Copies of this chain bind each other. A is one copy, B any other.
Amino acid sequence: MSERAAVESPDKKTAQWTRKDLLSLEELTREEIEHILVTAESFKEVSAREVKKVPALRGKTIANLFFEPSTRTRTSFELAAKRLSADLVNFSSSGSSTSKGETLRDTAKNIEAMNVDTIVMRHSSSGSAEYLARSIRAGVVNAGDGIHEHPTQGLLDIFTIRERKGTLAGVRVCLVGDILHSRVARSNIWGLKKLGAHVTVCGPPTLIPPHIEKLGVEVCYDLNKAVESQDVLNILRIQLERQKGAFFPSIREYAAEYGITRDQLRRAKPDVIVMHPGPINRGVELSSDVADGPNSVILDQVTNGVAVRMAVLYLTTLVER
């Protein structure tokens, strides 16, 4: 790191970072997750400064390669890269070589050949990030691959819980909603379990994957029951764009059964925190008074997202190769 790092060096006792890629929380050890969280803490402080910029990745190149549209996640990575002083280029799938019939591997090999250090990719196919990471020497950060994982979202959720609760050990977290199609749920489960949290999933039976208990989580179909005794409610987005089957009768019925309202919160612990990865469908997953209420940490998640992505880009880009 030497004089490149303008931030405090994370605890030297923490294991050295050795991965060029961040593909999933499943593959990380507890120590690696903690290493990212500690690094993100120093970077959160940077974003609160008058001059929100450190020279840590000056002269490095990061590419955003998004095959699914997502202004928000793309921008979070873009700001993370810029605040580390990296050069950032945005690739979009429309108008790109891929739309001219090029393979993903060729697109990535070409980006790499322009001396890009790290590629941040979002793709609709589960496993595409891992495939890419094996194909190129450049680093790969998974910004969501199909219904597999969205590791930086999992990390920013965990960062936010730890910030509020002080620890993950023994913290009771309930993921609510469409567990079946949610890469956010999958990353949360892996990460939370590794750090010692107790995880419950709650949603309509059609949206809970069979045998999910094998991941070490509790299953509950009744939201009224589930909210009691939780420290954290992490409410997933109903992604209408992903639901081609009819997994529930109607949005209105979903909201009545699984939407979080002020009434629901009365059953919960007074210091329960309410999370949501955004964008919110107000009145569906969450009522507005909950989204904007004192238990909500939704905007903290967004702020922490930049810090976590700075940490991930910093660690993966500067790893020895």
Contact digits for A8-46, partner B, Cβ 8 Å, 1 yes 0 no: 000000000000000000000000000000000000000
Which of A51-59, A222-230, A261-269 faces chain B? A51-59
For the complex, what is the distance from the CA of A224 to the CA of B97, rounded to whole Å?
30
Number of copies: 3
* Minimum C-beta distance from A35 to chain B (A): 23
Complex alpha-carbon distance, A300 and B109, angstroms: 11
A289 to B280, CA, bound (A): 48
Partner among B71, B96, B305 whose Cβ is within 8 Å of the Cβ of A96: B71
A75 lies within 8 A of B52 (CB): no
Give the distance in Å from the alpha carbon of A305 to the alpha carbon of B110 in the complex: 11
Per DSSP, are chain A's interface residues mostly helix, strand or loop, or mixed? mixed
- Are the C-beta atoms of A72 and B110 separated by less than 8 Å? yes
* Contact residues in B for A116 (Cβ distance below 8 Å): 79
Tell me whether B97 and A303 are in contact (CB under 8 A): no
Pairwise interchain contact A115-B303, C-beta atoms closer than 8 A: yes
Binds B, one of A100-108, A124-132, A175-183: A100-108
Question: A299 in the interface, Cβ–Cβ < 8 Å?
Answer: yes
Q: Are the C-beta atoms of A79 and B71 separated by less than 8 Å?
A: no
* Choice from B78, B89, B100 contacting A78 with Cβ under 8 Å: B89
